[in-house]
Amino acid sequence: MEKLQQTEITEGDATPMTQMINTPMESIDLEALFLDSESLPSPPLTVLEVIRKSDDPDVQIEELAKIIEVDVALSVQLIRMANSSLYSPVSEIKSIERAVTTLGLRSVRLLALTTSIRMLVPDQANAFDTSEIRRRMVVNGALSRRAAGMVERRVTDEAFTCGLLTGIGRIVLAMKAPDVAKAMVAEFGRWPTLNGERQYLGFTSDDVTTTLIRPWGLPSSLLDAIEGRSAPIDESSNNLTRSLRIGLLAEEALCGPDSGVSMEALLSQTKEDLDLDEPQTIEMLVESEAAVNEVAELLQFSFPQASAFSELLLEATTRMQSLTMEAHEAMVRGNRELEELSTRNAELRKKASTDALTGLPNRGSFDAALEQLANSGAMVNRSTEGGALLIIDLDHFKSVNDVHGHAIGDDVLRAVGNRLGEMTRSRDLAARFGGEEFVVLVESVDETQLAGLAERLRRGIEDIQIALPNGEMLSVSASIGAARCNEPEVVSAATLITTADARLYEAKRAGRNRAVLTSP
């Protein structure tokens, strides 16, 4: 049974709003959530040992590395994270010992905990879909890290880890009290802000988080920052707490039910702590979307595709400006900035997926298209007309550069790119694979159609004429290796590439300027 309770809600420094909230008659006991400790999320023993050992001033790098290396999955994830753009090492890190030496004990301790977070967060918790929680975790972690990088770079790792950890409390609520969590989400339309949680539950998910992680042995400064991020910021607040406060408000502006209220509080906080005005804050958030996506990929978090940050911020600023008529002029200015940023963002996304020299999609675009093809089951259903891959390598291209110079070599690559773009269907993908190699990913072709396409592409490249400075014309040729998804040896995206690549080299060995579609 529920009662209707009138509650005053305040978020940040915004004007209080009065709204009606349905609150359960029987309140939830915070302590009751932790009665069955064995069913609660907990890091692997390896991570807990790393946290404990990192506090030992006499611990040796080799000793810490050996502890981590025992957990192979953790080691792989930690090295992957250490090599990401979040840490941008000078050279590739290939071992745990190198990671500890390069990043330092403090960073490795936090990084080990960060990489283990995926193990703590199930996709479903007692029939409760955690996708929104996972999304808000990565938004919070990435934005807290970005803010820390602007106020005090020394605490970026702490801000990143704490920002991610703040979502663990919501996971515990979903696991231990799924019916209450569902009712609360239904009441607010999505997972509420911390103030909404406090009004509905009598405590917040941050309270759950700190109660859960306190026995893990983390520094008290991290717990204090998580506990303090929802309180008003004053002169006594340290930079870690300030960074987490900005991460919290950014998460609530982008993902919360009261985006306008949270946006107003966020703009006030970024002005105070980062000296950013509204357009600069919006630009910072839009630019952070790539980091959010990278964190999600590194943690192997998947969730439904959401609107672009520029669109979410446009909605948030619109709601914020509707709170007061006096802010109309600022809304128009902010919307114009957002539209410009949205256009720039679209241009940047296109630029990031395009090879600058040839204008074709780049390797990243090809990898994404190939993964999509593999996920569609193309390597499993074995239909007569399935997908196929052609790998095209220009013959003797090195000699073109050596004899005629790299400018002529670039002209050749551009001409080949144009020819491939002209000769492939709109539903197929022609891309630059790297160097003088190109790829064409084809949908729905049988063996005869693939052979015809390969021959047309070979002839099309052979017909290219490049004008040389002396008036002569330069011709080029290409060798092609192709493989179809429905061939017995093709069982994955990787084997599709290796099969086509092996046939490419067979074409080279057979004299070049030819296409090979079958294995010898």
Per residue in 436-454, pLDDT tens? 999 999 988 889 999 999 9
Q: How high is the pLDDT of residue 27?
A: 56
Measured from the Cβ of residue 477, the count of other Cβ atoms closer than 10 Å reads 16
d(CA 516, CA 520): 9
Instruction: Read off the pLDDT of residues 142-178 as tens digits, 9 standing for 90 and up.
Output: 999 999 999 998 899 899 999 999 999 999 998 888 8
**CA–CA distance from 7 to each of 18, 22, 207, 320, 354 (Å)?**
6, 10, 21, 21, 52
d(CA 314, CA 323): 15
pLDDT-derived band at 317 (thresholds 50, 70, 90) equals confident
- Residue 60, SS3 per DSSP: coil
- Model's pTM, two decimal places? 0.57
Q: Which residues contact 114 (CB under 8 A, 6 or more apart)?
A: 81, 141, 160, 161, 164, 299
Q: Which sign does the torsion angle of CA 304, 348, 142, 314 carry? A: negative
- Residue 454, SS3 per DSSP: helix
Question: What is the mean pLDDT of the segment spanning 411-420?
Answer: 94
For residue 437 the two structure tokens come to 């190699």
Q: What is the CA radius of gyration of the chain?
A: 28
For residue 236 the two structure tokens come to 């006594």
Start-to-end C-alpha separation, the chain = 74
Question: What is the mean pLDDT of the segment spanning 182-191?
Answer: 91
Phi-psi region of 456 (alpha: psi -120 to 50; beta: other; left: phi over 0): alpha
For residue 520 the two structure tokens come to 């010898």
Q: How high is the pLDDT of residue 448?
A: 92
For residue 277 the two structure tokens come to 């005005």
Q: Which of 6-15, 118-127, 197-206 has the lowest mean pLDDT?
A: 6-15
Q: Which residues contact 109 (CB under 8 A, 6 or more apart)?
A: 50, 51, 54
Q: Which of 85-89, 129-133, 274-278, 305-309 has the lowest mean pLDDT?
A: 305-309
Measured from the Cβ of residue 252, the count of other Cβ atoms closer than 10 Å reads 29
Question: What is the mean pLDDT of the segment spanning 259-279?
Answer: 91
Measured from the Cβ of residue 279, the count of other Cβ atoms closer than 10 Å reads 15
**Of 254, 261, 260, nearest to 284 (Cα)?**
254
d(CA 97, CA 243): 30
For residue 334 the two structure tokens come to 């902010």
Question: Which residues of the chain form CATH 1.10.3210?
Answer: 122-350
Given the structure tokens 């256009």, which residue do they identify?
Answer: 343
Q: Which of 10-14, 256-260, 481-485 has the lowest mean pLDDT?
A: 10-14
CATH architecture for segment(s) 122-350? Orthogonal Bundle (1.10)
Percent of the chain residues topping a pLDDT of 90: 41
Q: How high is the pLDDT of residue 392?
A: 96
Question: What is the mean pLDDT of the segment spanning 84-97?
Answer: 84
Q: How high is the pLDDT of residue 15?
A: 34
For residue 133 the two structure tokens come to 């929680």
In sequence order, which ranges of 178-327 are alpha helices (DSSP H)?
178-188, 194-201, 205-213, 220-228, 239-255, 259-274, 278-287, 289-298, 309-321
Q: Let me know: does 181 contact 164? Beta carbons within 8 Å.
A: no
pLDDT-derived band at 25 (thresholds 50, 70, 90) equals very low
Is the model's pLDDT at 43 over the cut of 80? yes
Q: How high is the pLDDT of residue 510?
A: 94
d(CA 451, CA 482): 9
**Distance between alpha carbon 133 and the CA centroid of its chain, in Å?**
15
Is the model's pLDDT at 382 over the cut of 80? no
**CA–CA distance from 263 to each of 15, 247, 278, 457, 512 (Å)?**
12, 12, 10, 53, 61
pLDDT-derived band at 10 (thresholds 50, 70, 90) equals very low
Given the structure tokens 């309140």, which residue do they identify?
Answer: 27
- Residue 429, SS3 per DSSP: strand
Question: What is the mean pLDDT of the segment spanning 112-123?
Answer: 82
pLDDT-derived band at 507 (thresholds 50, 70, 90) equals very high
Q: Which of 29-33, 38-42, 243-247, 344-348 has the lowest mean pLDDT?
A: 344-348
d(CA 347, CA 354): 11
Question: Which residues of the chain form CATH 3.30.70.270?
Answer: 363-516
Q: How high is the pLDDT of residue 245?
A: 95
Q: How high is the pLDDT of residue 381?
A: 64
d(CA 324, CA 163): 31
Q: Which of 111-120, 240-249, 486-495 has the lowest mean pLDDT?
A: 111-120
**Distance between alpha carbon 319 and the CA centroid of its chain, in Å?**
27
Q: How high is the pLDDT of residue 32?
A: 78
**Of 407, 264, 408, nearest to 324 (Cα)?**
264
pLDDT-derived band at 323 (thresholds 50, 70, 90) equals low
For residue 42 the two structure tokens come to 């907990």
Is the model's pLDDT at 367 over the cut of 80? yes
d(CA 514, CA 508): 8
d(CA 260, CA 241): 23
Q: How high is the pLDDT of residue 410?
A: 94
pLDDT-derived band at 413 (thresholds 50, 70, 90) equals very high
Assigned CATH for 363-516: 3.30.70.270
Is the model's pLDDT at 283 over the cut of 60? yes
Q: How high is the pLDDT of residue 331?
A: 59
**Of 495, 493, 460, 458, nearest to 478 (Cα)?**
458
**CA–CA distance from 224 to each of 40, 193, 207, 231, 266 (Å)?**
22, 19, 11, 11, 21
d(CA 57, CA 465): 68
d(CA 355, CA 359): 5
**Of 171, 181, 122, 135, nearest to 303 (Cα)?**
135
Average pLDDT over the chain reads 84
Dihedral over alpha carbons 436, 441, 445, 449 (to 10 degrees) = -20
Q: How high is the pLDDT of residue 13?
A: 38
- According to DSSP, the β-strands at 478-484 and 429-434 are unpaired
